[in-house]
Amino acid sequence: MEASEEALDALAKRYLAAQLAGDRREAVRVVVDDGLRRGIAVPDLHLGVIEAAQREVGRLWQENRISVADEHLATSISQLVLSVLYEHLPRQASIGRQAVVACVEGELHDMGGRIGADFLEMAGFDVRFLGANVPTDALVRAVTERDVDLVGLSATMSYHVPALERAIEAVRAARGPTFPILVGGHVVAWAPELRSKLGVSVFGGRADDLVAAARQVFA
Amino acid sequence: MTGAELASAIEQRAVQLARASTDAMLADPYWDARFGPRGERHAHQDGDFHVSYLVQALRLDSAALLANYACWLRSVLVPRGMCSHHLREHFRVLGDEVHRAGIHVPEGGLEVLGEAAAALTYEGGEAGAIDAVAGDVARAAATRLDGRPTPGRESEIREWISFLADALAAARPALFERHVAFMRSFGGRPGLAPVPVESVLDAISAELEAAVDPGVWREVALLLGRAPPAAEAP
């Protein structure tokens, strides 16, 4: 079912309230009982509820209305809810492609990468999500040990651009200069010049757009 | 020297530049009086981040990167008691320190710092109207207070006006009111003759009222505590 913007906004507000109250059960209940079980699509819950609420959490911290501890509490609740939703991902038929998704070395913000990994899985990729702060050499090992077809790299903070560049360079050295690499994360929005510099297959956008573009790479 | 080479030269001296630029800011007793040791710790972290983002902006030839960082950082620092002027000053001082460190800077090589500072100027609304006249108002108000414009007083008035603009832009009057409350207790900056806060507010009010549209002035006057009394009922 395609949820209306109003319905998603209402869920996002209740979800945010549960996050700020530190109420994990209520957060899960809002997303699963009042979202999923009432027919709202998982990608809508990812983007319209969890990601939207996380943006609001970030804004509240920026404006000094909540503490760092509150922000971490809210984020840990979203990690839990994403785990619950993982069981319910509507997966398209396998496209026979393997993907590795990782946050570059030093990058601790892994929620965007995690959502990207879930979206790739929904699009039919076989995904391994390596999480936050993946050392470049470990990333290369993960990409070469298996017959991986695509690497997704996430970077939030701009001072991790050198690590992003090193990761791309190392993956290309191991798998060839045209190996498909997808880059997402906040860094993309702040420095659009990166697109031409990195020369990667897919660059920036929402998780669903990013993944649709990734699928096109193999069409 | 290319932007990437300048970035590398700055990166090699990153610790020194961050420390020097932050220390130069912290030499102003305002910082310790307002934020104490915790503020000093955060100021040094910010200095490290400024240098890091400057390096990345130069390496990518991306003025947008530093400007986006500046605007984002402002949204974090203003609710915690700083103002846009402080951030602009830190960028300016960082540029000075790069030159002082003997790093060869090609013509326009550090324009990204100026562009990031410029990105902090509000456009539109009451905050934009105030920022558009801030320099002239600060000079005139400083002259009104001291009989002649002095850089120190002018900078302090710029700080006042910046707090005003930030509070208006965020629609959070308390941000300005906290600055007023602090300045009432602050012992003052070296080299500046002590002036009562009321006199500063009077000087700023007089110059701003003359410089901005009446509609803007009505909003600003409320924050400055200079709103005209409501007309009495007949």
B68 at interface of A, judged by CB pairs closer than 8 A: yes
Residue B227's pLDDT is what? 73
Q: How far apart are CA B146 and CA B154, in angstroms?
A: 10
B59 at interface of A, judged by CB pairs closer than 8 A: yes
A67 at interface of B, judged by CB pairs closer than 8 A: no
Please write the tens of the pLDDT for every residue from A173-219.
999 999 999 999 888 888 888 888 888 888 888 898 888 888 888 88
Averaged over A37-56, what is the pLDDT?
96
Residue B3 has pLDDT above 90, yes or no: no
Residue B234's pLDDT is what? 52
Residue B105's pLDDT is what? 94
Q: How far apart are CA B78 and CA B72, in angstroms?
A: 10
Do the Cβ atoms of A159 and B53 come within 8 Å?
A: yes
Residue B233 has pLDDT above 60, yes or no: no
Can you read off the two tokens belonging to residue A74?
A: 């809210």
Residue A213's pLDDT is what? 87
At residue B230 the predicted structure's pLDDT band, cuts being 50, 70 and 90, is low
Chain B partners within 8 Å of A56 (Cβ): none
Report whether A167 contacts A136 (CB < 8 A).
yes
Please write the tens of the pLDDT for every residue from B119-165.
999 999 999 999 999 999 999 999 999 998 888 999 999 999 999 99
ipTM, interface predicted TM-score of the complex: 0.82
Q: How far apart are CA A211 and CA A148, in angstroms?
A: 16
In the numeric block, the tokens 């002082």 are attached to B100
Report whether A182 contacts A112 (CB < 8 A).
no
The rounded percent of chain A whose pLDDT value lies above 70 is 99
Radius of gyration from C-alpha coordinates of chain B:
19
- Map chain B to HEC letters: CCHHHHHHHHHHCHHHHHHHHHHHHHCCHHHHHHHHHHHHHHHHHHHHHHHHHHHHHHHHCCHHHHHHHHHHHHHHHHHHCCCHHHHHHHHHHHHHHHHHCCCCCCCCCCHHHHHHHHHCCCCCHHHHHHHHHHHHHHHHHHHHHHCCCCHHHHHHHHHHHHHHHHHHHHCCHHHHHHHHHHHHHCCCCCCCCCCCHHHHHHHHHHHHHHHCCHHHHHHHHHHHCCCCCCCCCC
Do the Cβ atoms of B68 and A189 come within 8 Å?
A: yes
Q: How far is B156 from chain A (nearest CA, A)?
A: 25
At residue B232 the predicted structure's pLDDT band, cuts being 50, 70 and 90, is low
For A191, name the nearest residue in chain B, comparing CA atoms only.
B65
Residue B231's pLDDT is what? 57
The rounded mean pLDDT for chain B is: 94
Can you read off the two tokens belonging to residue B142?
A: 């400083």
Please write the tens of the pLDDT for every residue from A117-163.
999 999 999 999 999 999 999 999 999 998 999 999 999 888 898 89
Q: Which of B55, B60, B72 to mutate to test the interface with A (most CBs of A within 10 A)?
A: B60
Chain B partners within 8 Å of A158 (Cβ): 52-53, 56, 65, 69
Q: How far apart are CA A71 and CA A193, in angstroms?
A: 30
Q: Which of B50, B55, B65 to mutate to test the interface with A (most CBs of A within 10 A)?
A: B65
Q: Which of A56, A62, A157, A195 to mutate to test the interface with B (most CBs of B within 10 A)?
A: A62
| Total-model pTM | 0.88
Q: How far is B122 from chain A (nearest CA, A)?
A: 18
Residue B25's pLDDT is what? 96
Report whether A24 contacts A62 (CB < 8 A).
no
CB atoms within 10 A of CB B121: 14
Residue A1's pLDDT is what? 61
Chain A partners within 8 Å of B57 (Cβ): 191
For B69, name the nearest residue in chain A, comparing CA atoms only.
A190
Averaged over B90-104, what is the pLDDT?
96
Q: How far is B91 from chain A (nearest CA, A)?
A: 17
At residue A165 the predicted structure's pLDDT band, cuts being 50, 70 and 90, is very high
